[in-house]
């Protein structure tokens, strides 16, 4: 059980964190787009 399980768990946690960052980046991009369009209007 020892090392392998620990590595897998940390790898899964990293992937989840990466996913969260990606989603946040997407949201920020869309918000920036909206702000730009409102500024033009």
Sequence spans of domains, the chain: 1-41
Give the mean model confidence (pLDDT) for residues 12-32: 88
1 band by pLDDT with thresholds 50, 70 and 90: low
Task: Give dist(CA 11, CA 19) in Å, integer.
Answer: 12
Task: Give dist(CA 11, CA 26) in Å, integer.
Answer: 23
Distances (CA, A) of 35 to 17, 19, 24, 29, 39: 27, 24, 16, 10, 6
At 26 the pLDDT is: 92
Lookup result for tokens 């991009």: 29
pTM to 2 decimals?
A: 0.45
Give the mean model confidence (pLDDT) for residues 12-37: 88
Task: Give dist(CA 30, CA 20) in Å, integer.
Answer: 16
């Amino acid at each position: 059980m020892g090392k392998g399980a620990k590595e897998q768990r940390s790898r899964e946690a990293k992937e989840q964190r990466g996913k969260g960052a990606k989603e946040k980046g997407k949201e920020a991009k869309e918000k920036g787009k909206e702000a730009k369009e409102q500024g033009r209007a």
